């Protein structure tokens, strides 16, 4: 094999091997994402840390994410996030509150965070619940 061909073959193999290594970035955010997987508008409130409850709503098939921007790279600590909603769609108030876990993230995008979904209860579509989709954790309050 000629030297030029040998060098270019080695360079190509190195590119293939090194190019397949996943790139990792610095964590800059803590993210929790909420999906509405029902066919109804969902009204809910969110409380970040010790702040006030703030009303929110999600149209069917939409999502919203809640981001905590770290003060320094890889801080990996976020203020708490609580979600409060009426899980009874019949008009009777049944208030449910969950504390959500955020996922550390490189980018400020919903898919980078833990995803939680509003869904109908499996046995009775008159009720909804918020459930973790991809590893997030909920704590009832």
CB atoms under 10 Å from CB of 29, counted, come to 21
In a domain? residue 61:
yes
pTM of the model: 0.77
124 assigned to some structural domain: yes
Residue 8 in domain: no
Instruction: Give me the chain's average pLDDT, please.
Output: 83
Torsion sign over Cα 100, 109, 53, 48 = positive
Q: pLDDT digit string (tens) for 72-128? A: 777 777 788 899 999 999 988 889 999 998 888 888 888 888 999 999 999 999 999
85 burial type by CB count under 10 A (0-12 exposed, 13-18 middle, 19+ buried): buried
pLDDT band at 138 (very low <50, low <70, confident <90, very high): confident
In a domain, 6, yes or no: no
Sign for the CA dihedral angle at 69, 74, 75, 80 comes to positive
- The structural domain count of the chain equals 1
User: Tokens representing 127?
Assistant: 């009720």
Percent above pLDDT 90 for the chain:
48
Those residues with Cβ within 8 angstroms of residue 52's Cβ, 6 or more apart along the chain or in another chain:
none
Q: Does residue 2 lie in a domain region?
A: no
Dig out the tokens for 131 from the structure: 């459930």
Strand-pairing partners, residue 62, are none
Structural domain for 40, as ranges = 25-140
User: What CATH number is associated with residue 71?
Assistant: 2.60.40.2890
Residue 4: inside a domain, yes or no?
Answer: no
């Amino acid at each position: 094999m000629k030297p030029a061909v040998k060098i270019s073959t080695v360079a190509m193999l190195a590119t293939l091997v090194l190019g397949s290594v996943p790139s990792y970035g610095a964590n800059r955010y803590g993210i929790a994402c909420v999906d509405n997987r029902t066919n109804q508008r969902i009204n809910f409130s969110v409380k970040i840390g010790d702040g006030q409850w703030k009303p929110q709503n999600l149209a069917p098939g939409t999502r919203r994410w809640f981001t905590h921007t770290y003060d320094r790279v890889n801080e990996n600590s976020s203020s708490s996030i609580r979600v409060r909603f009426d899980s009874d769609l019949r008009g009777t108030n049944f208030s449910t509150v969950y504390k959500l876990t955020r996922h550390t993230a490189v980018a400020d995008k919903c898919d980078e965070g833990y995803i939680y979904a509003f869904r109908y209860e499996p046995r009775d579509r008159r009720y909804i619940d918020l459930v973790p989709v991809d590893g997030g954790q909920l704590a009832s309050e």
